[in-house]
Structure 1
Amino acid sequence: MKILKRILKIVFALIGLLALIAIFIVWIDVSGTNYLEIDKNDSAYHNSYLITHVNIIPMNQDTVLVDKMVYIKDGIIEKIADTIEVNAIQIIDGENKYLTPGLIDMHVHVWDRYELGLYLSNGVTAIRNLWGMPMHLRIKEDVFEENIFSPSFFTTGPKLTGSEFIGDDNLNLTNPKEAEEAVISYKERGYDFIKTYYGLNKPIFDAVIEQANISDMDIVAHPSQKVPFIYHLNSQIKSIEHAEEIVQQPLQFDLDTLKLQPIIDSISQSKNTSYCPTIMVFNNIYQMMMNDNILDSETLQYMNPLIKMDDSKRQFERWFNAKQKDPSTVDRIKKQHDFHLTIVKKLHEAGVPIICGTDGGIGVTLPGFSIHKELAFYKEAGLSNYEVLKTATVNASQTHAKMNQLGTIEKGKLANLLIVNENPLANLATLENPTYVFIKGRKLNREMLDFFNEKAKNRKNLMATALSYLENIIIEK
């Protein structure tokens, strides 16, 4: 009986500790990023406008609708026409600038709320977070309740891996029953999608797919090396991540375009699967080897301090040491990056929907800023500006049913929009500095967006991030 009482005391103490950690984390998040809070009583933040004299890039077709009006009502696009009469509405003169759908980054890793402002300042109005933790459910709730300025927020649960991939960031599955229970749990707790990762063998993978279908949860797949690559071309899997996984798995690092073509053909035959190349994050390996001072660069001041101290440093040291040991590694990495561009070109030519993702938030890949470099790589791979924009707008929005309200400028769509100075169909760089960002119809001007950048720069939230990570380990492991 005494032993039972002691065990109960320990259990209750752990529960109390967990509760205190969660409360402390929430308090730090809210107090440090209260500049993102929406005051719904402030007329500056209402979500109904009439935009006049604006040129529209609708993205449901390759065209420009010249000198139009757009009526946004309660955060939704209500009407698009040459002339619209609305009483008692604030009017925004578009000054013959260009209205585009907000950008969507389909592969990010969010570590704190400061990053939400970085995405908005770069015109990213929706993100798909691919490593879920409890803090992401809190962010998702605040976004849904419209308590904070943030991109539309979607998140997978924790990564599902095989038993040998032991680590704080994985949920290690040893049998199909565990796989079923994990999918059911993530659905009940409010995660949007399932992310599969390395080490899933066929029986466990089958269980994940079957339960995801029953639970109506789309799967995002980082390919597992325990099953053939084509095994990921399942209707429940809505996107496959990383161009380098094609090189590493089916090609076994053989950069041969003849061997690549059958793989591309097999992907193209799957009508439900998009591909998210994440060119940017692999290219950053090359950038780290070319710049010995990259960790001290001004741009890295926008990285989460814990990630910069740990992940960024470890990745830099890994590739710096690889270069020192074998100088030819630099050329090898550059050649593989160039081959990734060939993969993008071949995927596009085969009609595979390409969706833009950056892997922002890890290594030296900056949240928000990196999407413009990712888009530039697609342009380099041979896509037209319109085709490039599709990857971060309409293609992305069509990947999952719950994202269908995004991606185009049409009646009934969510007013996640950008006003930019030039026509992005002629100059993609104009997207880097939007004049206005609308998030669910609420307008953010350039001054406010620059303020978001400054607040995120050199932030002092290392301990808060560490506590969020600790919370994740306690709850998810």
Structure 2
Amino acid sequence: MKTTRILASLSLLLCAQAWAGTQTWITNVKLVSPEKLDRIEAGSVLIEDERIVRVVRGAGGKAPAGARRVDGKGQFLTPGLIDSHVHLFSVPGMSFEQADQKQTMAAEYFAQMPRSFLYYGYTTVIDLAAGSREFIDRVKAAPLHPDVYDCGAPLVFANGYPSSYAPPETRFDMFSNFIYDPAQADKIPARFKPEDYTPAKGVARVKADHGICVKTHFEHGFGTMHNLPVMSPAVYGEVRAAASRDNLVLVTHGNSFEAQTFAVNGGADVLAHGMWHWGEMDKEKELPPAIKQLLDKIAARKIGYQATMQVLHGLNAYFEPAYLNHPALPKLLPPSMLAWLQTPEGQWFKQEIAEDETDAAVLKGMEAPLRRQRQVVAYLAGKDANFVFGTDTPSSPTYGNIPGLNGYLEMQDLHQAGLSLAQLFKAATINNARTFKIDAQVGTIEAGKVANLVLMKMSPLADIRAYDSVQTVWVRGKETPRDSLAVGGR
């Protein structure tokens, strides 16, 4: 009997050892976690498989037997960064038609794209308009990629933005998750029945597609379109109610005072852009009282605010020759694509932006919107608003929004506009995680969280350049040196 018990115990011990996951002990680092910014101190982190299982602060703590030891050399360990506004399906600098015509080039870009986010420490991204589930699944199947969450197909208002930019004959197939508008019955194909395209049905489709958020829009248009239909407060209220029932985050695109007023009054969780259009107040040099009152509500209600300053800077890239000579671009774009972007064909979008104006005139015209945007950001920063870091990468067919680099440039924009380094760090970690309800998984360095981590040479609380001093990235416990994430890296 005694022998039997011993054999049974040995069997259980061997099974336990077989079941135990691979362990990594990251030590000799300074821990920088947003929930403990008052405790930037030496420490160690134990990873088992995909999770953090122990965090040791101070000099104590020993690596468990058998754990692989990683010496952080006194550098700074942070949670992985989160970009909560990306569009993975778009190729910067290419129209969808060009991407179809240049399939080899597009395929090379898509193979590198997830690695480019990781190169700058973005271990989690949220796609706000995941039109293709098959494509999102392909990104998730890549050997190295950030964690990807999404809002499913955007919930658009019939014939409104952005579906209005698609041809009428294909619009409702391309943007199939739309809200039926009885006033436009003659402009909606008869095969689409009103009862199937209610706000509640649209939200339910996002939920069924495993989205974590619902993306809506309040946009009258720009360029040649200025009178696009938008949803009424009553319709938006139905969307809000349905999103609450399904525990989905309600995100609304709107870059104007009118749009953000609409969304705030309707109970939006996240505003997906900064406010660079002030409407009738555009000519005001100082922040008008009416805008301050709205911003006070945004700050007080802790509405997530994605300033997306690189939307405008990304357009300016066509008129600033130095952009394509940025030293990071050869590390983030395949050589064939980078070369093509510098050809006349690759410059096609410049003509659409310029509309026959000179480069100097275009840049001059951008000064006022950028000033207004900076003023809004500075005011909200002074109120310690709930900034959630998002880049809108790419915001349009511009090559000025390259994955990874666009995030680093956005961080510089925000810091120059008035966000402190601590505010910026929280925006890209804990604020994003909490606002998008993924904080049980990511956003801090705590036991139980997914092991998405970044090792930097510099502290992100000391210098904005820290975000370009990444040494090593862990995604779900898998360690990758930064150099191997660049084009041609191994």
TM value normalised by structure 2: 0.73
For residues 293-335 of structure 1, what are the alpha-carbon distances to aligned partners after superposition, in whole Å with 9 as ceiling and x for unaligned? 95999838728969979998554212233533x9544223123
Please, which of 148, 152, 159 is the counterpart of residue 154 of structure 2?
159
| Pairing of 1:80-95 with structure 2 (within 5 A) | 80-81=55-56, 82-95=60-73
Aligned mates of 1:214, 1:330 — CA distance in 2: 45
Task: Report the equivalent of 1:115.
Answer: 113
C-alpha deviation, 1:216, in angstroms: 2.0
Q: Which of 287, 308, 333 is residue 257 of structure 1 equivalent to?
A: 287
* CA distance in 2: counterparts of 1:310 and 1:130, whole angstroms: 31
Distance in 2 between residues matched to 1:353 and 1:226, nearest whole Å: 18
User: Cα distance, 1:88 vs. partner?
Assistant: 1.0
SS of the residue 1:257 aligns to: coil
Q: Which amino acid in the other structure matches residue 289 of structure 1? A: F
* Residue identity opposite 2:406 in structure 1: S
CA 1:163–1:316: 2 relative to 1, 3 Å = same
Identity rate, percent: 20
Distance 1:416 1:248 in 2: 39
| 1:103 aligned to which of 70, 75, 81 | 81
Which residue number in structure 1 is paired with residue 474 of structure 2?
Answer: 438
State how far apart, in whole Å, the 1-side matches of 2:434 and 2:254 are: 21
Whole-angstrom distance in 2 between the partners of 1:341 and 1:239:
19
In structure 1, the partner of 2:315 is 285
CA distance, structure 1, for counterparts of residue 250 and residue 111 of structure 2: 25
Residues 434-443 or 214-223, more deviating:
214-223
How far apart in 1 are the matches of 2:270 and 2:446?
Answer: 25
More off after superposition, 301-310 vs 421-430: 301-310
1:381 lines up with 2:417 in the alignment: yes
Match 2:382 to one of 344, 349, 358: 349
SS at match of 1:401: coil
Provide the C-alpha distance between the structure 2 equivalents of 1:344 and 1:291, rounded to a whole number of angstroms.
27
Query: Over alpha carbons, which structure has the higher Rg?
Result: 2
- Measured after TM superposition, the shift of residue 262 of structure 1 is 1.8
1:108 and 1:357 in contact (8 A); partners too: yes
User: Using a 3 Å threshold, how does the CA distance of structure 1 residues 283 and 151 change in structure 2: closer, same or farther?
Assistant: same
CA contact 1:162–1:173 (8 Å) conserved in 2: yes
Of 148-157 and 95-104, deviating more is 148-157
How far apart in 2 are the matches of 1:305 and 1:215? 42
Superimposed CA distance per residue, residues 394-421 of structure 1 (whole angstroms, 9 cap, x where no aligned partner): 1111112234421111222221101111
Residues matched between the structures, number: 403
Q: 1:310 to 1:291 in 2, by over 3 A?
A: closer
TM-score by length of 1: 0.75
Pair 1:190 & 2:197 matched? no
Structure 2: how far apart are the matches of 1:334 and 1:366? Answer: 22
Matches within 5 A, 1:207-222: 207-222=238-253
Amino acid at match of 1:149: L
Superimposed CA distance per residue, residues 26-61 of structure 1 (whole angstroms, 9 cap, x where no aligned partner): xxxxxxxxxxxxxxxxxxxx8631011111112213
Shift in Å at residue 266 of structure 1? 2.4
CA contact (8 A) 1:55 1:64 kept: no
CA distance in 2: counterparts of 1:110 and 1:329, whole angstroms: 28
Gaps of 5+ in 1: 1-45, 457-477
Corresponding position: 1:133 with 2:169:
no
SS of the counterpart of 1:443?
strand
Q: Which residue of 2 aligns with 1:338?
A: 371
Q: Distance in 1 between matches of 2:445 and 2:463?
A: 19
Query: AA paired with 1:267?
Result: I
The verdict on how the C-alpha distance between 1:217 and 1:313 changes in structure 2, with shifts beyond 3 A counting, is farther
Aligned-partner Cα distance in 2 for 1:229–1:358:
18
Change (3 A) 1:147 1:392: same
Separation in structure 2 between the aligned mates of residue 358 and residue 255 of structure 1, nearest angstrom: 26
Match status 1:425 vs 2:461: yes
Q: Distance in 2 between matches of 1:72 and 1:292?
A: 42
Which 10-residue stretch deviates more, 115-124 or 402-411?
402-411
Q: What's the CA shift for 1:113?
A: 4.9
> How much does 1:438 deviate?
0.4
Moved more, 262-271 or 95-104: 262-271
